[in-house]
Amino acid sequence: MIKCLINSVRSSRGILLRIHCVDVPIQSARKYSTRLAEVGKLENPKEKGAYETGQLFLHRVFGYRGVILFPWLARVYDRDLNNKKEKPGDPVENLNQQQASREVKGRTHTYYQVLIDARDCPYIRAQTEAVTFLGHQDSARSLYAIPGLDYVAHEDILPYTASETSTQPPLQHELFDKFLAPVPNRDPPFGAQQTLIAWQRKNHPWLELSDVHKETTEGVRVTVIPFYMGCRITQTSNVYWWRYCIRLENLGPLPVQLRERHWRIFSLSGTLETVRGRGVVGQEPLLSAALPAFQYSSHVSLQAPSGHMWGTFRMERSDGYMFDCRIPPFSLESKHESEAPSNSPPAPATNQ
C-alpha cells in the first residue's frame, strides 16, 4: 500500500510543495522506501474573490492535486446556526421535527468544478466519480460516470504554481489537454478551450451545484450536496433520479467510526420509505485525527418530480460511546429537461 503525504519545505523561492510517497510494509521484515518529488510553490489562499479557470491547487482535506475548471455559486444551508437552543437529552427524531419548523437561511458560497490528478486518485478517501448522469432515452437504464471530477468549496483550495524544473505534466487527467491549454503571460498559465466552454454549456443542468446542506452532531459534521440527474420515461411511469454527495468530517479529538445508516425518503407521490443498513457504500469509515474526513456519492429515484431525504448515521467513538449523527434534511427537486444530457464527453465515461 502506498501512502501519499504532502510536505512543504521553505526555500529562497518560497514554500515548495512535495509529494512524499511512503511504501508501508505489510510484513515487519520489509523495509520502508521513500521518494520525494517536487510539485511546485504554494501560493497564499484567496480570502476574497474567486479562483480562475486553470488554477492548480491541493485539496485542503483530501490532499489531492487538482485544477479548477469553473466556479459555481451555491446556497449553503448551515443548520448548526439553529441548533444552539437544543436540549442535550432531546431524541434525534424530535430534534429533526423541531429544526424542520425553523427557517434555515441559505448563504451564497463559491464552489468549483475541478479535475483530480489521476496519480492521486488511488489514495483519496473520497469517491473520484462525483459526476454521474443518465444516458439518452434509447440507452436503456445506463448510468454514466465521468472519473476524476469533483466539487470543492473555496476554503478547501490551496493554490500553487507548478515547478518550472519538473519534467512531469502539471496534472494527469484524460480531459486536461482537451479542456485547458497554456496561455502565455497568464496567471494561472492555463485557460479554457472551446471544448470546455461548450461542454459546460451543454451539460449545465446536470452539472449545476445549487444547494449545500450542513449539520454537526457530537463533533461530526455532515455535508450533503444533491444533484438532479434526469428522468426515465416509460409507458407506465416516469422515474426521476438524483445523486447526492456526502462528506463526513470529524472535528473532535477522539476517533469515531460510522457503523449504520438510517434514511427516510419522502416522495411527492405520498410515499415515505425507510432504509437501514450497515455502513455506507460497503464501508464503515474510521474518522481519526490523521484521516478526519470521508466522502462518497449515492443515488436515489422517485416516481414523482420532487421529494425530501433526511436521516442519521450511527457512530461509535473510540471510547465506546454510540450516538446518532444527524443528516440534514434536503430537497430533491427536478428540473425542466429541454435537452438530454450528453453521454459523449470529450473523454470516455464509465458505464456503471
Instruction: Give domain limits for the chain.
Output: 1-42, 43-351
The amino acid at 155: E
| Res. 210 pLDDT band, cuts 50 70 90 | confident
Name the residue with cell 492521486. Answer: 120
CA distances from 272 to 20, 126, 240, 269, 279 (A): 49, 29, 16, 9, 22
| Res. 230 pLDDT band, cuts 50 70 90 | confident
| Res. 209 pLDDT band, cuts 50 70 90 | confident
Range of lowest pLDDT (49-53, 105-109, 275-279): 105-109
- Residue 133, pLDDT score: 67
Average pLDDT over residues 72-89: 74
Average pLDDT over residues 107-115: 94
Show the CA angle centred on residue 51, arms to residues 47 and 57, nearest 5°: 95
- Residue 131, pLDDT score: 66
Q: Decide: 343 and 253 in contact? Cβ < 8 Å.
A: no
Give the number of other CB atoms < 10 A from CB of residue 101. 6
Looking at the chain, the number of H-run helices and the number of E-run strands are 4, 22
More reliable by pLDDT, 84 or 334: 334
- Residue 103, pLDDT score: 65
Tens digit of each residue's pLDDT (9 = 90 or more) over 264-297: 999 999 999 999 999 999 999 999 999 999 999 9
CA distances from 217 to 70, 111, 234, 314 (A): 32, 24, 42, 11
Quick one: what percent of the chain has pLDDT higher than 90? 55
- Residue 346, pLDDT score: 56
Cell of 155: 476554503
Cell of 242: 438524483
Average pLDDT over residues 39-68: 93
Q: Decide: 151 and 107 in contact? Cβ < 8 Å.
A: no
pLDDT surpasses 70 at 92: no
Average pLDDT over residues 103-120: 90
pLDDT surpasses 50 at 142: yes
- Residue 10, pLDDT score: 41
| Res. 101 pLDDT band, cuts 50 70 90 | very low
- 43-351 sits in which CATH class? mainly beta
pLDDT surpasses 70 at 202: yes
Cell of 65: 492535486
Tens digit of each residue's pLDDT (9 = 90 or more) over 231-258: 888 788 889 999 999 999 999 999 999 9
pLDDT surpasses 60 at 52: yes
Tens digit of each residue's pLDDT (9 = 90 or more) over 186-201: 999 999 999 999 999 9
Give the number of other CB atoms < 10 A from CB of residue 81. 12
Tens digit of each residue's pLDDT (9 = 90 or more) over 177-188: 999 999 999 999
- Residue 36, pLDDT score: 64
Q: Supply the mean pLDDT for the chain.
A: 81
More reliable by pLDDT, 35 or 296: 296
Average pLDDT over residues 34-46: 79
Average pLDDT over residues 150-162: 95
- Residue 286, pLDDT score: 97
More reliable by pLDDT, 32 or 323: 323
pTM assigned to the model = 0.81
Q: Residue 289, class by beta-carbon neighbours within 10 Å (0-12 exposed, 13-18 middle, 19+ buried)?
A: exposed
Query: Is the alpha carbon torsion for 145, 146, 148, 152 positive or negative?
Result: negative
| Res. 81 pLDDT band, cuts 50 70 90 | confident
> Given its phi and psi angles, is residue 211 left (phi above 0), alpha (psi -120 to 50 degrees) or beta?
beta
Give the number of other CB atoms < 10 A from CB of residue 237. 10
CA distances from 320 to 193, 218, 249, 316 (A): 53, 14, 19, 6
Give the number of other CB atoms < 10 A from CB of residue 162. 21
